[in-house]
Amino acid sequence: MDFGILSVIIFLPMFVALLMLILPIGAKGTRNIAFLTSIIIFILVSLVYYNFELSGYMQFREHHTWITTYGIYYSLGIDGFSLIILMLIATLIPSAYLWLWDGRTKGYWISMMLIQTGITGTLFAQDLILFYFFWEAMLLPVFMIIGMFGTGNRVFSTIKITVYTIMGSLLMLISILYLGVAFFNNYGFWSFALNDIVQITNLTRTEEIWLFAGFMIAFAIKIPLFPFHTWLLETYSNSPTGGVFLLSSIMAKLGVYGIVRFVMPIFPELYKEFAPFFVWIGIFGLIYFGIAALMQINIKKMFAYSSASHLGFIVTGIFSLNVYGMTGAAFLIIAHAMATGGLFLLVGKMEYSLGIKAIPALGGIAKKAPIFTVFFAIMLLCIVGLPGTSGFVSEFLIILGAFGFSPSAGIVSAFTVLVAASFMFWMFQKAILSDSGNDVSQMKDLNFKEIVGMLPLAFLIIAMGIYPDWFFYKIEPTIQHYLIDILEIRNY
């Protein structure tokens, strides 16, 4: 049996976490080992990235039977779309660890490592049951982190997100099982492997629509798409920094990933048929959440809405059915993860030092912490979509894609240039720049570790804005493959 680098990437953190659980090592030791693990994974992922061939098909496949009776496979693989998300995760996690460095318990670090296993597993799984398994495995430690280390009404937040998520997961599980049975009826043997499931031909249209809805609701909750977003506010507001960081910058994106990976190939016709609906719900979300963010006092709630607003835009991109919109969406996934992740880390530090989340109670930070402010400004400008940052390239491409889908969608989606700018700059003024006489003397500027952690994010934001082409070439064949082979759109 050949050496499966993807399996190593998935299970190394879990293995280390379980080892830590048994061994009598303190919080600091666990943290150091967790950091080391994340660096090793980064190196492994870089190898994968480097060896990834320029094609649109699955690579680094690992395919083994798992539960033979029901055709459940341990099947892994990545294509260009997963590759960039993988690269993103591998870059973000060590950065985040540097920011979470002090004052966390052993349980926190163990949970973080387990989460990493869950998200990479979700990203690689090519079997529906395996995917579901990792999807759930990724969420449990998140609930633990929020419930145990959160602030405010954290138990309520945990229950709320759990209820939402379990709802979605349940629908997804039912859909998966239904598909499995359908496959059995179709071909006479069991299989949940994605490559087999896409061959199903015996579903009626009604059945397909129900199953499609089952998947879409599960993913829409995770993203979140309007109207499945109300868990977001409390969760983001009450989560500890690490939790909200992972939720906003990685897990929300996995919702989008799920749509592309499973919904698109399993239901290509419905995907095309309902594309207008999702393009418009994305644009609606963009504007709705953008306006809702405008009057938020709690900075984390503002970012929660802002995040939802951009994710709506990503959904517009992936449903635009052309190469511009879809590459733009992939690019925005990265851009937004960097910027929002960075912002939540920065805000987390502010909350940690000052104990304040209310925007009017802040102010005068720029004077106290100039380097903090520089990074804050870079992240903010990326969210706002300023040219020269990755935010612009992605927004421009999505607008282009939306216009290609329908000119009216393109024109309305261009309003994105106003949406984030309107509240982000107000927040920046109130919370960071202007001196409103509040006591912020406890605020410290970034230390060396934090600067090192933030630099890759800031660097990538700018590099991807100045030289986007370099970041495109690995993903473009995949998008072409989606459009030509899966969706069978020739003249996009």
Partner 1 sequence: MSNFLLAWIVLIPLLSSAALGLMYLFSIKIVKIPNIVFTLIGVSAPFASFWIATTFFLQMIGNSEIFLYKAYRWLGVDGYDIDMGFMADKLSIFMVLFITFVGGLIHLYASGYMKNDDGYGKFFFYFNLFIASMLLLVLADSPIIMFIGWEGVGVCSYFLISYYYEDEKNVQAGNKAFIANRVGDLGFIIAMITMFYYAGANGFDYINLEASMASVPPDVLTFIGLALFVGAIGKSAQIPLFVWLPDAMAGPTPVSALIHAATMVTAGVYMVARFHFLYDLIPDVGLIIAYVGAFSALFAAVIATKQTDIKKILAYSTMSQLGYMFIAVGLGGYSVGIFHVFTHAFFKALLFMGAGAVIVALHHEQNIFKMGGMKNKTPLVYFTMLIATLAIAGIPPFAGFFSKDEILLTAFGSGEYLIWIMGVVTAVLTAYYMFRLLFVVFHGSNYKEERKLHALNKSITMPLVILAMGSMFAGLIGVPELLGGHNLIGIWLSDWRNSSLHVAHDTEFILMAVNILAAIVGISIAYKKFFKYDMKIVPQYEGMIWNKFYIDEIYDRFIVQKIKKISIFISYKVDVNIIDMVVMGLSRSFIRGGHFISKLQNANTRFYAFTMLIGISVISTYLIMVMR
The 3 state secondary structure assigned to 241-277 is HHHHHHHHHHHHHHHHHHHHHHHHHHCHHHHHHCHHH
Choices 111-119, 187-195, 288-296, 348-356; region in contact with partner 1 by CB under 8 A: 288-296
Q: Closer to partner 1 at the Cβ: 3 or 50?
A: 3
As given in the structure block, the two tokens for residue 146 are: 């929020």
Choices 112-120, 253-261, 312-320, 402-410; region in contact with partner 1 by CB under 8 A: 402-410
Q: Closer to partner 1 at the Cβ: 4 or 258?
A: 4
User: Cβ 405 to partner 1, closest distance in Å?
Assistant: 11
CA trace torsion 137, 139, 144, 145 (10° rounding) = 120
DSSP state of 429: I
At residue 298, the 3 state secondary structure works out as strand
The reply to whether 371 sits near partner 1 by the rule CB under 8 A is yes
Cβ-based neighbours of 149, under 8 Å, separated by 6 or more: 104, 105, 108, 240, 242, 243
The site that binds partner 1 (CB under 8 A) totals a number of residues, namely: 70
CA distance 295 to 416: 17
The reply to whether 152 sits near partner 1 by the rule CB under 8 A is no
* Cα–Cα nearest to 388, from 372, 377, 373, 399: 377
Choices 77-85, 94-102, 160-168, 173-181; region in contact with partner 1 by CB under 8 A: 160-168
For partner 1, which residue of 47, 418, 449, 488 counts as binding (CB under 8 A)?
418
The reply to whether 105 sits near partner 1 by the rule CB under 8 A is no
The reply to whether 300 sits near partner 1 by the rule CB under 8 A is no
Residues 450-469 that bind partner 1 (CB under 8 A): 467-469
CA distance 473 to 54: 8
- Within 13 Å, how many C-alpha atoms sit on residue 96's CB side? 35
Peptide bond into 224 cis (omega under 30): yes
Cβ-based neighbours of 173, under 8 Å, separated by 6 or more: 132
> Per-residue string for binding with partner 1, 350-369, x by CB under 8 A?
--------------x-xx--
For partner 1, which residue of 268, 404, 452, 463 counts as binding (CB under 8 A)?
404
The reply to whether 140 sits near partner 1 by the rule CB under 8 A is no
Alpha helices (H) along 62-204: 80-99, 106-124, 128-149, 154-187, 194-197
Given the rule CB under 8 A, which residues bind partner 1?
A: 1, 4, 7, 11, 64-66, 74, 159-160, 163-164, 227, 229-231, 233, 288, 291-296, 305, 323-324, 327, 364, 366-367, 370-371, 374, 381, 386-388, 392-393, 396-397, 399-400, 403-404, 407, 410-411, 414-415, 417-418, 421-422, 425-426, 429, 433-436, 445, 467-469, 472-473, 476, 480
